[in-house]
Structure formats: C-alpha cells, structure tokens
Amino acid sequence: MKEAGIEKAFILWNPNHPPYPEIGYDNKIKELGYLSGVYELFRDVHLRDTTGVIDPSNTKGTYLNRFRFPGLFHDVALVEKDGGYHYSGFGYDTNPKTVLSLIPELRTDREMKIYPHESFFLDGYQASGIFEDYGNKNPLTRTEYKEAVIAMNRFFEDKYNQIVGVEWGADYGIASTAYAHGMTTLHHMLYSSPNREKEGTIYYMGDWRNPSRPSIMVGEYVADEYYMKWAINEKIRVPLYQLVYHGSIVTTWRWDDNSHSMPGIWWKKDLFDILYGTAPLWCLDRYRWERFKLTFIESYKNLGPWLQQIQYDELVSHRFVTEDHKVQETIFSSGKKAIVNFGDKDFILNGKIVPAKSSLKIDNL
C-alpha cells in the first residue's frame, strides 16, 4: 500500500480471528507512517462465562478473544428490574462501571506488552442504548451508565495513551471519542435489505465460515433495489450528524457496508465521503487489494488529500443544487467547498464543470 502511494492509513485488526500478527507488528505499522489499532468488545458476556478463570499465561489460539469474561458472568452482567439479565442480541449486556475495574487484568495490560497499539475501537456500548442495572454490586441509573461509558473511553486515553473510537457514536460520548465507526451507514436501511441473506444470489452479503478471511468482511456483493432506494439514495440522504459534529469526530461506513463491499457503487460512496467530509473504510486481504488495486489508489487520491484539508473543519452548509438532488454542495468552516455530481451528465456551476459521477473541490469561497 505504501509503495502504491497510500500515505495515510489506520490499520485495525480483530483478535477474534486467526492468525494473529507477528510480535512487533504495531511498530512496523508505525514505521510506515500508519496508525495501528485493534478491535475490542466489553459489552457482551455469555453464559459459558459462569465458569473459568483468567489465565494470563495462555498464548494459544485466539487467546485475546473479545467474547470472554472467564468466571465473571454474574459479576458483570446487567441485572434488570425483574432480576433477570438483559440480552443484547449477541450475548448479555454488561455493566460498564464493573467492567472498567477489570480491564487491565482481563487482558489489556498483557496485550499492550505484546502489541503496543495506538488505538482501541471499543465496540458495542455507544451503539446499543442506555440501560439501568438493578444489581447489588454496581447499580446504575441511565445517567450513571453513560458516565461509566465515557469513563471507559477516558481510561483508555489516559492509562494506555490511546486514540479511542466507538461503534456508531452516541452524542453523549462525542467529547471522549475520536472516531465513530459505522455512522455514515444508514443501519436500518442496510439490515432491512431483503436479499442480503439469500445465499447463492449476487446479493448475498457473505458469512463467517472462514474465520481467517470471513466473506462477510472481505467479499463482495451487489446492492439490491431496497438498498439503492433507502441506504445510498442521494435524493433523500442529508448529513445531519456531520452538520452537528464534523470537526469533533471522524465518521466512517460500517465494516459490512464498507466502501468496496458493493463494487458497483463504490464511486457513489466515495462521492458521499467527499461531500460529507467522512472517511472511507476498507476491509482488505491481499486478494482484494490486488483485484481492485487501481481503484483503491484512485479512491485514496480522491479522498485522502481532501480529508486532510477539511477534517478539523465544521460542516457549515449543505444544499441540493439541482431539483433532482443529483448535484449537491457542502461548505466547510475553512471556506473550502465540495460540489458533487451523482448524475450521468456533466454539470456546469458558475462556469465550472462538475464531471458526471465525480466532484469539484474549491479551496475558498
């Protein structure tokens, strides 16, 4: 990637999937001028964790697996008003205040000695709602729940000197968060697409059968009509989140809705990123890189320098230039402007040509 001209990148890996990088991996990433980071999840606990103990000497398999609280289920699981446990859809929700006290011992201290990351992506908490805990150990009101989530972000920032990112990006956590993974994706529109789970079709999103290279992460598929109408439609999308928070937080597409997962509309996602000042997201293996290498390079050249110019700006204006919304304009607080043309024909604005399916960037008003 570096040799191809990709000068800036944030490389993040997930310890739930083998094989693990070699020791010293993070330092090599840093030497390239890239940011090294890792996926982490503390929100979910499973019934299997009613037994077991933390074993700091274990270095076998996926020993840093994010879905483990050995023997700690009854300590960390959120207790509902009726005395039951709150199911998250992927496991049982945890109490962030209780988890916070366990983080160093659970795995993070020893992990940082092996892999000195620069960033932690903390999945779950800011994407799943705000809860109460009626248990005796660390009862929480909803306000206290939010405060504990913020404290966890600050903990990683202060103790481990980390750049902290989260899933989606609840507004209460903006001040303690550098990036919000998935906020550019319209989640309900993505998951409501009726054909994504139809295996054997061009619309199939992939699966987890190969833990080293899950097709749901590094594969490709075709956007169905529902997705095109509701998730990526320039006629109805507006950058409300970015109009409020651009300059305070970096936002991206979701991993299973990444920039290139549907290659036929890759160009369109890049145009939204230029327009909104949001970051692209790539899920790469060597095959994917070689297969679309020229498009990755083109995408980076279109987006990288532009984002470096405006990422700390506020987004102060967004407007539809044409009645069909094919041509749109955004203005940033530095005075820089993006004009994007989603249409099939070139468009002339104030004597300047905005090519079809392309953009025009203007330095100052």
In total, how many domains does the chain have?
1
Instruction: Evaluate if residue 365 carries a pLDDT over 70.
Output: no
Positive or negative: CA dihedral 293, 239, 278, 116: negative
Over the stretch 130-161, which tens digit does the pLDDT of each residue have? 999 999 889 999 999 999 999 999 999 999 99
What does each C-alpha distance from 52 to 68, 97, 108, 276 come to in angstroms?
10, 22, 18, 47
Does the residue 361 lie in any domain?
no
Does the residue 199 lie in any domain?
yes
Over the stretch 17-46, which tens digit does the pLDDT of each residue have? 999 999 989 999 999 999 999 999 999 999
In this structure, what CATH number is given to the domain that contains residue 209? 3.20.20
pLDDT for the residue numbered 99: 97
Does the residue 332 lie in any domain?
no
Over the stretch 168-210, which tens digit does the pLDDT of each residue have? 989 999 999 999 999 999 988 888 888 999 999 999 999 999 9
Q: How confident is the model at residue 112 (pLDDT cuts 50, 70, 90)?
A: very high
Q: How confident is the model at residue 363 (pLDDT cuts 50, 70, 90)?
A: confident
Structural domain boundaries, residue 33: 10-314
Does the residue 276 lie in any domain?
yes
Average pLDDT of the residues of the chain: 95
Which H or E run includes 283? none
Q: Which residues pair with 358 in a beta bridge?
A: 341
What does each C-alpha distance from 217 to 17, 242, 285 come to in angstroms?
11, 26, 10
What does each C-alpha distance from 224 to 100, 194, 218, 311 come to in angstroms?
42, 8, 19, 32
Round to whole Å and give the CA distance between 44 and 8: 33
- The terminus-to-terminus CA distance of the chain in angstroms comes to 35
Does the residue 319 lie in any domain?
no
Does the residue 88 lie in any domain?
yes
Does the residue 322 lie in any domain?
no
Does the residue 38 lie in any domain?
yes
